[in-house]
Amino acid sequence: MKKIDKLLLSSFVGPFVVSFGIALFVLVMQFLWLYIDEIAGKGVSIFIMLELIGYLSISTFPMALPIAVLIASVMLMGNLAERYELSSMKSAGISLMRVMRSTIIVAAGIAMFSYICSDFLIPIANLKFKSRLYDIRKQKPALTLEKGVFNEDFRQFVIRIGDKASDGETIKDVMIEDQTNAGRLKFNQILADSGQMFTTEDKRFFVMNLYNGAQYQEPTPQGKTSGQRYPFVRTKFKSWAKVWDLGEFEMNRTDEDRFKTQRSMLSMSQLRKNMDSLQLEMYNGKQSIADDLVANLKRPPVNSKLPNPLVQSKEMFEKDSLDRLKAAEQIKKVPKSKRPKVIPPPPPAPVKVEGPVLPKQRLDKKLTEYASLMETFEPASREKLLKDAVTQAKSGRTALDRRKDQIENRRKEEVKTGYELFTKYSFAFVCFVFLFIGAPMGAIIRKGGFGYPILVSIIFFVTFIMLTIMCRKLAEAYILSSFWAAMAPCVALMPIGAYLTRKAMNDSQMINTDRLERVLFWLRRYFQKKKPATA
């Protein structure tokens, strides 16, 4: 490895790692803020939070890698150009592409790593993140008993505490409404002057020891005795203990198989299989619609093995004729007295036609002389025929619309699945494209550090994200195919990268203002000459 390659690599790795960490942190926080309301107040442990952040970090790798390559390449070439090291290399006969050779290899490796993450790591990370988030959503909020607030965290219990001491255990003026026997008890409430609450050492049970209170119960009238009155029961106590199981507040792990069919949890091979299945379903749906529309015009398939007496080969016809002649000659050799009597077959039974019998048509004149087909039937049956036709048309229209909706849903799913597949390629390829935008941009602006390079990088990255969103909408509107919708942002940025690379190789400015300055100079002279004449 040449010294220049070592210099470029050592100067590229540092900014890349820092910018990748910053981009990853920003993207993770952006997505985490979307779910913070569902996570807060659930008593989630720090290990579960770290697990969620880890899965979310892996899923954001394809977005963080391109912006890290862009920022690091701008900083690398900007620092070299600012210290005149890039000019020294060019004066020594080293071209810009030779200087970028090591970074091109590194960018290709980063693109390959992004591809591997999208195909293998990200589907697993998305599956784990989705299942853990689902578990947190189902989990009940952490138990918090505040004074003066009605708490309904426990199932079928309402608890209110009038006051709570500073130790967090001693309580006063306690009210508990028990709704577990709502069918038999119309009213069931417990009141206590004071008490003590605590959690057992194994964190499995929550205990409330109540002192100097009473329990009030009123039975619910049922059946024939609903008109009778029942006594209001009051039970006093000096000490009473109530125990609740905290198992309902624990997070239960959900089976991950229920989320494996979602697009973001599938690998590239699985996405391709889904696309093939959806295309086959669309084809079968269209074929079934066509079969229903031409149900009366169906023909047997070409390769059908069923015998067709109208289509026979010459050999079969000749063989059949020879067999019949041989049979006739053998019958002639037998005497008439020994010949068996031939019993003619019975006449065929009349075929019963099931279903509605259509009225007969009245054809008193030529068909061209009738104004409509309805006039060929008897006047008494025309109204019934119209009603039957309208009913059949409506049922056929409903079935057709239902199948069309099914095909449309399959088509939308096929487009989204294809876009999910080809986006994995585009996010890997844009890492390579951003290198040819960032490196020439740094050589042209000749500014290092984090200030100007980050500004330039954000402009191009936001442009890429906006193009990605716009092309996804175009794909969902069936204007672009899923492949070109995913690749269009990369294709749009490639000419920009080629233009900037050419400008950097020729040591020219990004925008040539010479012609603009000449035009402004000519306009200034023109108006200066015109002012005395008007005066």
Q: Give residue-wise pLDDT tens across range 479-513.
A: 999 999 999 999 999 999 898 888 888 776 655 55
pLDDT band at 183 (very low <50, low <70, confident <90, very high): low
Cα 424 from Cα 459, distance rounded (Å): 22
pLDDT band at 534 (very low <50, low <70, confident <90, very high): very low
Pick the closest to residue 471 from 418, 435, 428 (CA basis): 418
Q: What was the pLDDT predicted at 110?
A: 93
What pLDDT, in 10s, does the model give residues 312-355?
A: 444 554 555 566 666 666 666 666 666 555 555 565 555 454 44
Residues contacting residue 285 through CB under 8 Å, at least 6 positions apart: 403, 406, 407, 410
Q: Would the pLDDT of 172 be above 50?
A: yes
Phi, psi of 159, deg, nearest 5: -120, 135
Residue type, 519: V
Exposed / middle / buried, residue 383 (Cβ in 10 Å: 0-12, 13-18, 19+): exposed
Residues, the chain, total? 535
Residues contacting residue 440 through CB under 8 Å, at least 6 positions apart: 77, 96, 497, 500, 501, 503, 504, 505
Q: Which of 141-150, 264-273, 314-323, 421-430 has the lowest mean pLDDT?
A: 314-323
Query: What is the chain's mean pLDDT, rounded?
Result: 78
Cβ neighbours of 126 (radius 10 Å): 20
Task: Extract the tokens encoding 23.
Answer: 């981009």
Q: What was the pLDDT predicted at 113?
A: 93
Cα 49 from Cα 35, distance rounded (Å): 12
Cβ neighbours of 237 (radius 10 Å): 13
Residues contacting residue 168 through CB under 8 Å, at least 6 positions apart: none
CB 15 within 8 A of CB 74: no
What pLDDT, in 10s, does the model give residues 73-106?
A: 988 888 888 888 888 888 888 888 888 888 899 9
Residues contacting residue 226 through CB under 8 Å, at least 6 positions apart: none
Percent of the chain with pLDDT over 90: 15
Q: Which of 155-164, 259-268, 303-312 has the lowest mean pLDDT?
A: 303-312
Over range 411-437, report the average pLDDT. Answer: 91
Cα 109 from Cα 104, distance rounded (Å): 9
Q: What was the pLDDT predicted at 126?
A: 86
Cα 410 from Cα 420, distance rounded (Å): 15
pLDDT band at 516 (very low <50, low <70, confident <90, very high): low
Cα 448 from Cα 446, distance rounded (Å): 7
Q: What was the pLDDT predicted at 473?
A: 92
Cα 187 from Cα 60, distance rounded (Å): 55
What pLDDT, in 10s, does the model give residues 27-43?
A: 888 877 877 766 765 56
Q: Would the pLDDT of 243 be above 50?
A: yes
What DSSP character marks residue 367?
G
Cα 64 from Cα 117, distance rounded (Å): 12
Cα 522 from Cα 180, distance rounded (Å): 93
Residue with tokens 């770290």: 50
Phi, psi of 339, deg, nearest 5: -75, 140
* Cα atoms in the Cβ-side hemisphere of radius 13 Å centred on 26: 12
Q: Which residue has the higher pLDDT, 424 or 514?
A: 424
Q: Is residue 512 within a helix (H) or strand (E), and if so which, with residue range?
A: none
Exposed / middle / buried, residue 121 (Cβ in 10 Å: 0-12, 13-18, 19+): middle
What DSSP character marks residue 450?
S
Q: What was the pLDDT predicted at 355?
A: 47
CB 504 within 8 A of CB 89: no
Whole-angstrom CA distances from 471 to 47, 119, 150, 237 are 39, 22, 51, 72
Q: What is the reported pTM?
A: 0.64
Cα 28 from Cα 59, distance rounded (Å): 9
Q: What was the pLDDT predicted at 180?
A: 77
Q: What was the pLDDT predicted at 535?
A: 42
* Burial track 168-203 (b if 16+ CB lie within 10 A, e otherwise): eeebebbebbbeeeeeebeebbbebebbebeeeeee
What pLDDT, in 10s, does the model give residues 186-230?
A: 778 888 888 888 877 776 778 888 888 888 887 776 655 555 566
Cα 1 from Cα 510, distance rounded (Å): 32
Distance between alpha carbon 378 and the CA centroid of its chain, in Å? 59
- Which segment, 243-257, 379-393, 406-420, is predicted with the most confidence on average? 406-420
The CA angle 363-364-368, to the nearest 5 degrees, is: 70
